[in-house]
Amino acid sequence: MTSEVDTDLLVIGAGACGLAAAVAAHDAGISVAVVEKLARPGGNSSLSTGSVPGAGSRFQREAGIEDSPERLVTDLLATAGPHDADALTRRMAEESAPLVEWLIDELGARMELVTAYKHVGHSVPRLHAPRSRRGQDLVDDLLGFVSDRGIPLAVGNPVDRLLMEDGAVRGAVIAGEPVRAAKVLLATNGFAANRSMVARWCPEIAPAEYFGALGSTGEAAAWGEAIGAALGNMGAYQGYAAVAYPQGSLLSWTTIEKGGILVSASGRRFGNEDAGYSGFAPTVMGQGETAYAVYDRRIHDIAAGEEEYVELAEMGGVRWADTPQGLADHMAVDGAALAETVDAYNGAARGGRSDAFGRRRFELAPLQAPFAIVRVKPGLFHTQGGLMVDDHARVLRPDGSVVANLFAGGGAAAGISGLSGAGGYASGNGLLTALALGRIAGLCAADELSG
């Protein structure tokens, strides 16, 4: 560190991106400090299920799963379609297996390969997650690594703006005080908690409830726009089609993927659930205020492998009946219509043909007694648009030149989930770009500073 700066790398935001960057930069030999505006670190990363793809990881090899970065690129682009950050998709795919091996083998994160099911948008099991399936455990591990290294982390310290000199970033103003830094990483996530930015960039999901952390108020995009940085994929976001209501916890998508359906209050289906938990969210929003997930005991038993689902069941969020009509005693749905709906769906599943909505994946369906029902609402989880970055997480201008000394990662950067809408999001896209770009930014900052 030179005497002209307070720290080599200033990390703004203490979620997965910022914490991974801090550890990587420290271990590469530079000084680093993390500032977090809220009283608690963790951001959206704490609320997530902590699932991160690692294509071709040693854990997959040991489980006999054949995978590769090329296969992940193919899967991600098939879901996302062409977008502003195509090149980043390849970089993220290549980084994914080294990332999970770094987290688990080198740092000691308590994560494992999830083999029980393939996540939305992935053709093989490749997501690695905390054993509890809670992002809080991943954040706690990262906070432990930060604290073991003596990296300063100041909570309750909002960054007001970047310090700029001659077009280069020189630090930031934190709670009114300038802090000089050789490099700055924007790890502040996206703008889903900022209603006016959501209305500007993602108007279709603006009426939905936001289920993420309060800190995602869009400073990175706003500061970037003000200094002439390029923004990309601003209309893309992760939605969730089935947040249990009124409990507010996620109804595991396993319940739908393994053969469950979503119906309206009139007991009718309204779309093809194969679109996935994110892609199906706008459809759920379009059909009415709430919807109902219907599945059976066998599917419940599989979902019961997830702590959050068990808690939902314990809170009384899952109701049971021996017939579809019987489910109407628990919820305000039309029981007779629901019985017809389940019959028609079971018929399609039995025949192995796509149903009236084009659904092809039936897994354990036909559904059989006893039947379960959960009341759900769609929600907005996070936005996927942000600052365009290069392969080293450096922030770019529209002409492709680099904004000197400025990095961005995670929700602050343009993501890999398509140009707009909820359909381009594949499971793990949020944490992959958070952790991988954070790590890359930390390493690149160290590299540049050591000449």
Q: How far is the CB of 13 from ligand FAD (least distance, A)?
A: 3
35 binds ligand FAD (CB under 6 A): yes
Specify the pairing of strand 153-154 against strand 159-165. unpaired
> Considering only residues 22, 25, 159, 388, which one is a binding residue for ligand FAD as defined by CB under 6 A?
159
> Considering only residues 1, 6, 38, 86, which one is a binding residue for ligand FAD as defined by CB under 6 A?
38
Q: How far is the CB of 242 from ligand FAD (least distance, A)?
A: 12
Question: What are the residues whose beta carbons fall under 8 Å from the beta carbon of 256, sequence distance 6 or more?
Answer: 241, 242, 262, 273, 277, 293, 295
Task: Round to whole Å and give the CA distance between 87 and 430.
Answer: 16
Binding mask 378-417 for ligand FAD (x = CB under 6 A): ---xx---------------------------xx------
> Considering only residues 9, 17, 331, 422, which one is a binding residue for ligand FAD as defined by CB under 6 A?
17
What SS3 class is residue 27? helix
- When the beta carbons of 18 and 271 are compared against ligand FAD, the nearer one is 18
Q: Which amino acid is at 441?
A: A
Task: Round to whole Å and give the CA distance between 127 and 118.
Answer: 8
Q: Where are the beta strands (DSSP E) in 229-279?
A: 231-232, 235-244, 261-263
187 binds ligand FAD (CB under 6 A): yes
Helix, strand, coil % in the chain, rounded to nearest 5 = 35, 25, 40
188 binds ligand FAD (CB under 6 A): yes
Report 203-222 residues binding ligand FAD (CB under 6 A).
211-213, 215-216, 219
- Among candidates 260, 373, 251, which has minimal Cα distance to 323? 373
Q: Is 294 left (phi over 0), alpha (psi -120 to 50) or beta?
A: beta
Q: How far is the CB of 448 from ligand FAD (least distance, A)?
A: 22
13 binds ligand FAD (CB under 6 A): yes
Size of the site for ligand FAD (CB under 6 A): 44
Task: Round to whole Å and give the CA distance between 328 and 308.
Answer: 25
HSE of 259 in the Cβ direction (CA atoms, 13 Å)? 26
Q: Which letter does DSSP use for residue 366 in this model?
A: S
> Considering only residues 43, 125, 232, 424, which one is a binding residue for ligand FAD as defined by CB under 6 A?
43
Q: How far is the CB of 235 from ligand FAD (least distance, A)?
A: 16
428 binds ligand FAD (CB under 6 A): yes
Given a contact cutoff of 8 angstroms between Cβ atoms, the answer to whether 99 and 436 are in contact is yes
Binding mask 432-451 for ligand FAD (x = CB under 6 A): x-x-----------------
> Considering only residues 8, 10, 26, 44, which one is a binding residue for ligand FAD as defined by CB under 6 A?
44
- When the beta carbons of 373 and 431 are compared against ligand FAD, the nearer one is 431
Residue 357: both structure tokens together: 């909505």
Q: How far is the CB of 337 from ligand FAD (least distance, A)?
A: 31
- Among candidates 133, 126, 135, 41, which has minimal Cα distance to 92? 126
What SS3 class is residue 25? helix
- Among candidates 54, 203, 171, 35, which has minimal Cα distance to 122? 54
Residue 8: both structure tokens together: 């080599």
Q: How far is the CB of 385 from ligand FAD (least distance, A)?
A: 12
189 binds ligand FAD (CB under 6 A): yes
171 binds ligand FAD (CB under 6 A): no
Q: How far is the CB of 37 from ligand FAD (least distance, A)?
A: 4
16 binds ligand FAD (CB under 6 A): yes
424 binds ligand FAD (CB under 6 A): no
- Among candidates 327, 183, 211, which has minimal Cα distance to 267? 327
Residues that bind ligand FAD (CB under 6 A): 12-18, 35-38, 41-45, 47-51, 158-159, 187-189, 211-213, 215-216, 219, 238, 250, 381-382, 410-411, 428-432, 434
